[in-house]
Amino acid sequence: MAWEIKNDRPVYIQLVEELEMRILNGTYTMGTKLLSVRDLAGEAQVNPNTMQKALSELEKKGLISSRRTSGNYITDDEKLIKDLRTELASNEVETFCGKIKKLGITKKETIELINKEDF
C-alpha cells in the first residue's frame, strides 16, 4: 500500500491521518494486529520513532491498543469507528459546502453535480 508523505506538514501528522483513514475505511480490519512499528516505518519509509509517535496518537484516540508483548491492535469498537467516520465526513462536507457557497453555486446545482459523480 502506497504512502504519500509530503513536505508541507509534519510527517507524524500525515502518518496519523493515513493510518486513521485505513482504520476507518476498513483497510485495517477491526481487532486485527498491526505490523510492527519497524515494519510500518519501513513500509512508509519513515523513522521508526516517527511511526511510534503516530501510533501513540492513534492510541490516545482509542483507534488502536498497545499490548506490551504482542504489539498494536486495531480497536474492535464499532461505535467509535462509526462516530469517527461520521465526524470526519461531516467536517469534509462542511468544508466542501463552504467552498461551494463561495463559488455561488446553489444547493440544487450542488446536488446535481454530486449525482453526476460515481462514488
CATH code of the domain in which 38 resides? 1.10.10.10
Residue 118 banded pLDDT, cuts 50, 70, 90: confident
Does residue 49 fall inside a structural domain? yes
Given its phi and psi angles, is residue 26 left (phi above 0), alpha (psi -120 to 50 degrees) or beta? left
pLDDT at position 78: 96
Does residue 1 fall inside a structural domain? no
Same domain, 17 and 65: yes
Same domain, 35 and 57: yes
CA distance from start to end of the chain: 21
pLDDT tens-digit readout, 50-93 = 999 999 999 999 999 998 888 999 999 999 999 999 999 999 99
Same domain, 16 and 61: yes
Same domain, 67 and 82: no
Q: At 31, is the secondary structure helix, strand, or coil?
A: coil
Domain count along the chain: 2
Same domain, 108 and 84: yes
Same domain, 58 and 25: yes
State the CB neighbour count (10 A cutoff) for residue 44.
21
Does residue 21 fall inside a structural domain? yes
Q: Look up the domain containing 29 and give its range.
A: 11-74
State the CB neighbour count (10 A cutoff) for residue 94.
10
Residue 2 banded pLDDT, cuts 50, 70, 90: confident
